[in-house]
Amino acid sequence: MDLINLFVKSIFIENMIFAYFLGMCSYLAVSKTVKTAVGLGAAVIFVLVITVPINYLIDTYLLQAGALSWLGEEYASIDLSFLSFIMFIAVIASMVQLVEMIVEKFSPALYGSLGIFLPLIAVNCSILGGALFMQQKDFTGISEAITYGAGSGIGWFLAILAIAAIREKIAYSNVPAPLKGLGITFIITGLMAVGFMSFMGIKLEGNQEEQKEKTVYNIENENADDKATYITDLENE
Amino acid sequence: MSEENKPTELTKEEKKKKEMILFLSKSEEKESFLSKANQKLLTDPLDDNNPITVQVLGICSALAITVQLKPAIVMSLAVVFVMAMGNVVISLIRNLVPNRIRIIVQLVVVASLVIVVDQVLKAFLYDVSKQLSIFIGLIITNCIIMGRLEAFALGNGPWKSFLDGIGNAAGYGIILIIVAFFRELLGSGKLLGYEVLGHKGLTLEDSTGLYALGYENNGFFLLSPMALIVVGVVIWYQRSRNRKLIEEN
């Protein structure tokens, strides 16, 4: 049950694009047609499902404070967490390379459709973001890490699919010249994010307070009352 | 034939080696440090070639940290540091790195610089570092940095790359600061934490400044969608002034 909660939460409530803006660069660059958007989205799901669990294992057994205790007692006091950025990015870059080679060897058809997108993914913020959020969330097992990776990937996929479909249609509308292309895409994404905010009201099992804290985590408002009233307002709607 | 050609090739290679040792390209030796072309490198990314609104790079981390002005400024400074240093380092080693592994080398260089920034922030500005949370780490995959390393530092000398890094990071910072300015001002009525619009009390009588007239903060500006819409409006404004940037479709 917890896994399903986490899955739904990572797709909708903590959507990579609409809640955290991760992976915006490729989201804007590759969303001109639905076909390429599907290719990139699939590649992102694929890589997130692989890299988040691997980074979870590296974090738990190598980097965290006391993670090296399986080597012996004298290693229990070592804290390598300052190395996590470089480890995570190295894992991601090498996994992307590896996945590219494996896919090319065993499934040329899939390589044909993903091919050009795979190298792009090494520098897609949502992949590193997935790893860093995983580290922040203190998951208790690898199954949670896999679920989180899959959920955030699917959330990203949905987002790029939706914007690509909208952009294909918007080509036929009369947008003011200075807003054409990038400007209108930004504004549409903003409006879509407003739509996704309605998922914040969904009640999943578990600690409600904690969830609210997490979903509105980037509202760094010092006035706590404002924040609380705002959340209740949202829920009443 | 081939023997005649050999000596000239060797001298070419020697020349190249000399350039490598000096880390200077030919054109750079002749130019003064702040020539017209170099100044253009610095100012172009501020408007005509802005990384966020024109090149569409580095938006990932740009939006989530613009709720307040202070983290936006800290983030811009961090990016200025990482970009300038990263560009210089990559430009210094550009002739030594095999093409196939260049992406990993770039990532490692940038990641080490980001670790430095992260540790410094944790030591001296702990509250800001908590607010920026994972977004400092995400500078590593910030597309501007990788984009400029690929497009500029790999083909140019260190001084030019340094200027290009500073210029692009400043262009990024300007957008960040503009967006954060409006979001903090309209969303919480403050700038850098100071209550510039007056103090909001519990009742109208307690309040001062604009709040005494019945002004309310627009809480919507604190939420993430507004960042996108504000950037959209900034793009709109920039392109209606600078019409050559308008896209076809």
What's the gap in Å between the CA of A53 and the closest CA on chain B?
A: 18
Contacts of B112 in chain A (CB under 8 A): 86
Half-sphere exposure of B36 (CA within 13 A, CB side): 0
Contacts of A189 in chain B (CB under 8 A): 228
User: Within 10 A of B49 (CB to CB), how many other CB atoms are there?
Assistant: 17
Query: A54-63, A174-183, A210-219, B77-86 — which is least confidently predicted?
Result: A210-219
Give B244's contacts (C-beta < 8 A, 6+ positions apart): none
Q: In this structure, what token pair is assigned to residue A216?
A: 């509105």
3-state secondary structure of A121: helix
| C-beta atoms of A122 and B131 within 8 A | no
What local confidence, expressed as pLDDT, does residue A225 receive?
Answer: 47
Q: Which letter does DSSP use for residue A83 in this model? A: G
Phi-psi region of A72 (alpha: psi -120 to 50; beta: other; left: phi over 0): left
With CA atoms as reference, the chain A residue closest to B232 would be A183
Instruction: Give me the interface pTM, i.e. the ipTM.
Output: 0.71
With CA atoms as reference, the chain A residue closest to B109 would be A86
Beta-strand ranges (E) seen in A112-221 are none
Q: pLDDT digits over A45-83, tens only?
A: 888 898 999 999 888 888 887 777 777 777 777 778 788
What local confidence, expressed as pLDDT, does residue B32 receive?
Answer: 63
Across residues A158-180, what is the average pLDDT?
87
Query: A3-12, A26-35, A124-133, A210-219 — which is least confidently predicted?
Result: A210-219
What local confidence, expressed as pLDDT, does residue A215 receive?
Answer: 46
Contacts of A125 in chain B (CB under 8 A): 60-61, 138, 141-143
What local confidence, expressed as pLDDT, does residue A158 receive?
Answer: 92
pLDDT < 50 stretches in chain B: 1-7, 25-27
Are the C-beta atoms of A28 and A40 separated by less than 8 Å?
no
Q: pLDDT digits over B96-150, tens only?
A: 888 777 777 888 888 888 888 888 888 888 888 887 767 787 787 777 787 788 7
3-state secondary structure of B77: helix
Q: Where are the alpha helices (DSSP H) in B32-101?
A: 36-43, 59-64, 69-92
Residue among A82, A124, A178 minimizing CB distance to B141:
A124
More confident residue, B71 or A1: B71
Q: What is the pTM of this model?
A: 0.74
With CA atoms as reference, the chain A residue closest to B230 would be A187
| C-beta atoms of B134 and A125 within 8 A | no
Q: In this structure, what token pair is assigned to residue A49?
A: 């499902």
Are the C-beta atoms of B174 and B79 separated by less than 8 Å?
no
With CA atoms as reference, the chain A residue closest to B127 would be A220
Residue among B104, B111, B188 minimizing CB distance to A85:
B111
What local confidence, expressed as pLDDT, does residue B17 receive?
Answer: 56
Interface test with A, best of B59, B135, B136, B211 (most A CBs within 10 A): B59
Whether residue A154 is predicted with pLDDT greater than 90 in this model: the reply is yes
3-state secondary structure of B41: helix
Please tell me the distance from the alpha carbon of residue B126 to that of residue B183, in angstroms, as a whole number. Answer: 23
Confidence of residue A152 (pLDDT cuts 50, 70, 90): very high
What local confidence, expressed as pLDDT, does residue B7 receive?
Answer: 47
What's the gap in Å between the CA of A38 and the closest CA on chain B?
A: 20
Q: Measuring CA to CA, which residue among B139, B63, B144 is closest to residue A16?
A: B63
Are the C-beta atoms of B121 and B78 separated by less than 8 Å?
yes
Please tell me the distance from the alpha carbon of residue A30 to that of residue B145, in angstroms, as a whole number. Answer: 19
Please tell me the distance from the alpha carbon of residue B181 to that of residue B66, in angstroms, as a whole number. Answer: 8
Q: Where are the alpha helices (DSSP H) in B93-223?
A: 102-124, 126-132, 134-137, 143-151, 158-188
